[in-house]
Structure 1
């Protein structure tokens, strides 16, 4: 249970560190060059942590599995909630179109608005883990920090919905190599996205919609926000203008919106791990 299992890329990096130590013992005069190579290696690791869709730090669900693609499925994921000013309207739209979505909820917000989280779960939407505190420095966490952020989020959402989340998405998808071992220990899978509309910053619904639907295809994981949603000039959250158009476009293209657990049952193919 406590064994740390790293991705093949990270194992390679560890092996290169060991090789550098051996070379340093053999040829101490090489230390400037070896140090420079290790700095470059750590820079590469840091860069990969800033790329939400990278798979080199560990399994990462960026698209739905082939079985879901064959069924013509896509997943709408909605982050940063619950928000009492936005989430109820989002749920109303989804109910009107008879569509299920995946809500990546922040634990601290879920504690304040448990009825919204419970309502989403009762209406057939998936409630997944977006971290307990959603702090911007989460990508700098060590093992203990990730265990708190992910583990407390799991406990909070399970207490509210009666179901343990299957997926975790860090803030902005940012992470480091120590997240994957924690996810393995907790039995949770990392999920990012295929495309996003940047609807926390962009106030133009047409632009957000265009980004989400450009090359839209079966298997896509789409990212929107009910929490931290950008507002139009009249104060309307952008998601409330984009979501109906998006659902109508999915219908026109004969694509079915499903939750991540539905699409990936029994487990995300892209994230199956060797025992």
Structure 2
């Protein structure tokens, strides 16, 4: 593996290579036998559907390497990953909760939000956590972007977050985890590693903290990468962000099992 942050060579996955072969075969078939166009078109459409399905599956490695669990060497630990911030109300309270549990977390921040709240990003780093790339604007159509637009969006967040946090991100998480075949070559060129999760609590949509915690703890084990949110956080009946109570339950469960928390940088890259 290349040193953290350095560009690396992109190698197509079998699915991407197969799709390219289907396209080449379709063109060759049309050149030889134009009447075979229905079969050629069908093959191309099927390959596109397969690529789209892979991009809609956040934990898939069909489009490129994807960290969905910690490596074997870090399996006595878990990683808490926190998306969509920083949020001026929620993030400081999450930081206090992490301090109370002596826990470390990985914050996947949105570049524009980091620029709006630089002091919070600085606090994340000062309190022993790491800040990674969750795109510059968190666009809903992110997975529909071409390679040029993807690179501009991700590189903008690299520059924004790097300038505030004092270190450029080493990991990337796509908005909602959705992506397309153009993403992995861009990440390779920027020296970024794609990371998703083992399980998520859906804490942006569920107002019951106990239910969020149960989702995160179902099958809970060493090596897990768990996903919660400080941005776009759902609120309970009393207006409190559900991430606070849910994360407290998860961290208590981890302590009871003797599991330490670790940032992705420390667990995956030893950085």
TM-score, normalised to structure 1's length? 0.94
Alignment counterpart, residue 188 of structure 2, candidates 152, 176, 184: 184
CA distance in 2, matches of 1:207, 1:252: 19
**What displacement does 1:20 show?**
1.4
CA separation of 1:239/1:3 partners in 2, compared to 1, >3 Å: closer, same or farther?
closer
Partner of 1:146: helix, strand, or coil? helix
CA separation of 1:120/1:80 partners in 2, compared to 1, >3 Å: closer, same or farther?
same
**What displacement does 1:120 show?**
0.4
CA separation of 1:3/1:250 partners in 2, compared to 1, >3 Å: closer, same or farther?
closer
Structure 2 unaligned blocks of 5 or more: 1-6
Corresponding residue of 2:124: 120
Corresponding residue of 1:247: 251
Corresponding residue of 1:259: 263
CA distance in 2, matches of 1:210, 1:244: 12
8 Å CA contact retained: 1:6, 1:177: no
Partner of 1:217: helix, strand, or coil? coil
Corresponding residue of 2:31: 25
Please show how residues 147-186 of structure 1 align to structure 2 within 5 Å.
147-186=151-190
Is 1:68 aligned to 2:89, yes or no?
Answer: no
**What displacement does 1:3 show?**
7.5
Please show how residues 1-275 of structure 1 align to structure 2 within 5 Å.
5-69=11-75, 72-266=76-270
Equivalent residue pairs, number: 265
Partner of 2:249: helix, strand, or coil? helix
Structure 1 unaligned blocks of 5 or more: 268-275
**What displacement does 1:161 show?**
1.1
**What displacement does 1:56 show?**
0.7
**What displacement does 1:243 show?**
1.2
**What displacement does 1:6 show?**
3.0
- 1:124-175 deviation line (CA, Å, top 9, x unaligned): 1010000000010000010111111110111111100110111000111000
CA root-mean-square deviation = 1.4
- 1:186-219 deviation line (CA, Å, top 9, x unaligned): 0000000000000000111111000000010111
CA separation of 1:258/1:146 partners in 2, compared to 1, >3 Å: closer, same or farther?
same
**What displacement does 1:32 show?**
0.7
CA distance in 2, matches of 1:234, 1:123: 28
